[in-house]
Structure 1
Amino acid sequence: MGKFSRLGHELSTGHKSYDFIGRRPFWYSLSGGIVLAALLVVIFNGFNFGVEFTGGTEIQVSGLSSTDAGQGTADTLREKVAATGIEAAAQPEVATAGSNGVTITVKELTESEQAKVTDVIESVVTIDNPKDQLTVSSIGASWGQQVARRALIGVGVFLVIVMLFIGMYFREWKMSIAALCALIHDVLITMGIYSLSGFSVTPAAVTGLLAILGFSLYDTVVVFDKVRENTHDLRASKTTYAKAANLAVNQTLVRSINTGIVALIPIGAILAVSMIQLGASTLKDLALAQFVGMAVGVFSSVWVAPRILVHLKSNESEVVLAERRAKAKAKANVDPYANVPSFAEDMPLGEGAELGVPTDAEQGPARARGPVVRDSRAAGRPQPSREPRSKRTK
């Protein structure tokens, strides 16, 4: 932990630096390739929408004993129903309902398929009166579609408000564009991984997707705030916009990593518990969307958003002038004595200062290049003298 703290101090002071802004083609290609792969997965693999969006069948079992209404019974029912071979019941959602009930939710079943599923249920739990204890009902898809429509409206309003806020806070619309690009990057990658996992898209998954928007933007705003601080006066800082932005990313790197780890540990624990112990559940859908989105959000706030911002700012006059000053300074530092005039036989005496010949102190090691002719400014004038002390006392 001490080494990590020292690393954070070195990054903050600039003694150590990683290039997060350079190699633009490589990182654009990498991020673009990941996003393209996510889009292809979504297009060709699609999503496994839950019954809330497609409609389905819900079977409620009530009047069970406390032993039959436990989590162990729910896990057994999930396995037995999935093993029936019915496609619509391949991924059932089974949950306890109170202290004496169990609810099984699957996709829409035919009458024969419903009878097969109820037979499986009766083989697992003790049901004395099936007509009273078993309730089969259909779930319409209208509620899920309404949730999806409102979620899209909420995302649109959220993005507009966030862009306006970032633009007004930083007084820089290009930061809003960069933050929006990073946000789209995070959402698309999360959707691709979610599609690849085959998890059901439920209202909980939509909620998790909306939650990562805030986390991703929060980390990006922290980095942008440091960028604004470092690039406040490029002329005084004698650096370029890209270098100042890269320093800002390095200074906030440890903070971004710590924030991401702290957020990912509990979400990862929830994901592991829901997958291993709870099986198919809305908690698993929520945790997966948040876990992937938060991890990708840390990546985008460090590698994507600052790079896009520097790219958008590269044509501004102040940024271009800073680049020119930095290039001129770097060229001068290659040979600091390249402009020192060399001695010539026909050089007029006494005109060294007018010709720009440096003094001994100014020339330093360059004096070895050859003799320097300069006016002593003392020729033809009486020089001050100092009498010895023995004569001054007389």
Structure 2
Amino acid sequence: MSKLGNLGARLHRGEVGYDFVGNRKIWYGISILITITAIVGLAVRGLNMGIEFQGGAAFTTSKTSVSVSQARSYAEEASGHDAVVQKLGTGGLRIQVAGVDTDKADQIAEKLADDMNVEASSINAELVGPSWGEQVANKAWTGLGIFMVLVVIYLAIAFEWRMALAALVALIHDITITVGIYALVGFEVTPGTVIGLLTILGYSLYDTVVVFDSLKEQTKDLTKQTRWTYSDVANRSINSTLVRSINTTVVALLPVAGLLFIGGGVLGAGMLNDISLSLFVGLAAGAYSSIFIATPLVADLKEREPQMRSLKKRVLAKRQAAAQGDVAEGAEPVETSYDAEPEDATPAVVGPRGQRSQPAARGRGRGRPSGKRR
């Protein structure tokens, strides 16, 4: 842990780091590929909507020795519809059949009791109308739309419109990937899924806002100097908050992973699967987008401004002049690294820069017999 803390301190001071912004095209390409895969999965397989959204009946049995596959075949034979069967932690089964009414549900329950050799009273039937699921879906979409509008307005006021736009792109990126993976995995979409999707929006924005706040602070009066471009400072902001982002993401993922792999996978709690998968994928996608998508996108948008383009030209010209001056003096090219800057200086940035000029005192006393000053 001490090594991780030392690494975080060195990243914050700019002594080490990775050029996230410089390699942004790689991250854009990876994100586009993942997003396209998610969209294709969503278009081809579609979402497995639960009975809460389609309407139907859910039958819960007491502890039984009947397997999931056997129960599925019994339910499909009794109802004439596809059935979804989940093993419960109590040893019982939850059988869901979409598109059945009250009269048919009673017949299905009796037929299941005969096939499974259990008492009819031990099978609990619950009916859900499709109108209820439609109301939930409509309210979820409304809430999502209002949330995004408020987020864009707040970020535009607190930071600037470019950061608001980048955060919105990151949110859409995270939601698309999460929904696409849901389609590929085939997990059932329930109200728990909707809760998970709405919850990850806040987590997705958390790391993004932290980086944006650091970037806003470090770019004050940026055009008054000629050492760093906007992309340089953006890269420094990512590196300085990198360990913090990793720590918060890992801490958030651990309990969610416990719900997904132990609660849902081992214990067989279906509702835990629904909410934990959306949280797990959404948290991971949110951490990725805040580092690899949102901030590099802000740098791209910001450097389209005339002031930032002019600053970049001046910085690059100064670096080139410094490099040419070193070569003219016969200095051997060496790789330079960024030393920690004084606290009152412009923050150091990880990335390539020109060689430092040699001290002006080099060559003093040359040509004199003793090499000493007279």
**Normalising to structure 1: TM-score of the pair?**
0.76
Partner of 1:193: 181
Structural RMSD (CA): 3.1
Deviates more, 1:113-122 or 1:271-280: 113-122
Partner of 1:323: 312
Aligned counterparts of 2:124 and 2:19: Cα–Cα separation in 1: 62
- Structure 1 position 269, deviation (Å): 0.1
Aligned counterparts of 1:31 and 1:289: Cα–Cα separation in 2: 18
Partner SS for 1:58:
strand
8 A contact 1:76–1:124 mirrored in 2: yes
Q: Which amino acid aligns with 2:323?
A: V
- Structure 1 position 240, deviation (Å): 0.7
Partner of 2:198: 210
Aligned counterparts of 1:365 and 1:45: Cα–Cα separation in 2: 74
Are residues 134 and 27 of structure 1, via their aligned partners in 2, closer, same or farther at CA, if it must alter by over 3 Å? closer
Aligned counterparts of 2:228 and 2:179: Cα–Cα separation in 1: 40
Any idea what the Cα deviations from partners look like across 1:285-311, whole Å, max 9, x if unmatched?
A: 000000000001000000000111011
Query: Bigger relative contact order, structure 1 or 2, given CA contacts below 8 A and separation 6+?
Result: 2
Aligned counterparts of 1:240 and 1:233: Cα–Cα separation in 2: 12
Partner of 1:365: 363
Partner of 2:15: 15
Aligned counterparts of 1:176 and 1:43: Cα–Cα separation in 2: 29
The percent identity for this pair of structures is 37
**2:142 is aligned with 1:153:** yes
**2:252 is aligned with 1:263:** yes
**2:72 is aligned with 1:82:** yes
Partner of 1:220: 208
Any idea what the Cα deviations from partners look like across 1:222-253, whole Å, max 9, x if unmatched?
A: 01001111111212473110000000000000
Partner of 2:349: none
Are residues 5 and 155 of structure 1, via their aligned partners in 2, closer, same or farther at CA, if it must alter by over 3 Å? same
Q: Which amino acid aligns with 1:107?
A: A
Q: Which amino acid aligns with 2:202?
A: G
- Structure 1 position 82, deviation (Å): 2.2
Are residues 220 and 244 of structure 1, via their aligned partners in 2, closer, same or farther at CA, if it must alter by over 3 Å? same
Select the residue among 165, 175, 182 that pairs with 1:177. Answer: 165
Are residues 95 and 109 of structure 1, via their aligned partners in 2, closer, same or farther at CA, if it must alter by over 3 Å? farther
Aligned counterparts of 2:29 and 2:297: Cα–Cα separation in 1: 13
Higher CA-based Rg? 1
Are residues 22 and 362 of structure 1, via their aligned partners in 2, closer, same or farther at CA, if it must alter by over 3 Å? closer
- Structure 1 position 10, deviation (Å): 1.1
Partner of 2:85: 92
Are residues 231 and 221 of structure 1, via their aligned partners in 2, closer, same or farther at CA, if it must alter by over 3 Å? same
**2:266 is aligned with 1:277:** yes
Aligned counterparts of 1:293 and 1:159: Cα–Cα separation in 2: 16
Aligned counterparts of 1:338 and 1:268: Cα–Cα separation in 2: 55
Partner of 2:299: 310
Tell me the matched-pair count. 333
Any idea what the Cα deviations from partners look like across 1:329-386, whole Å, max 9, x if unmatched?
A: 211211327899xxxxxxxxxxxxxxxxxxxx95733987x99xxxxxxxxxxxxxxx
Partner of 2:219: 231
Partner of 2:40: 40
Aligned counterparts of 2:143 and 2:265: Cα–Cα separation in 1: 33
8 A contact 2:163–2:212 mirrored in 1: yes
Are residues 125 and 260 of structure 1, via their aligned partners in 2, closer, same or farther at CA, if it must alter by over 3 Å? farther
Any idea what the Cα deviations from partners look like across 1:143-197, whole Å, max 9, x if unmatched?
A: 0011000100000000011111111111x11100000001111010111111111
- Structure 1 position 3, deviation (Å): 1.9
Are residues 233 and 367 of structure 1, via their aligned partners in 2, closer, same or farther at CA, if it must alter by over 3 Å? farther
Any idea what the Cα deviations from partners look like across 1:18-65, whole Å, max 9, x if unmatched?
A: 01101333222221111111111111110100001111123467xxxx
**Normalising to structure 2: TM-score of the pair?**
0.79
Aligned counterparts of 1:162 and 1:362: Cα–Cα separation in 2: 53
- Structure 1 position 88, deviation (Å): 3.8
Aligned counterparts of 2:81 and 2:315: Cα–Cα separation in 1: 66
Partner of 1:247: 236
Partner of 2:97: 106
Partner of 1:375: none
- Structure 1 position 142, deviation (Å): 0.7
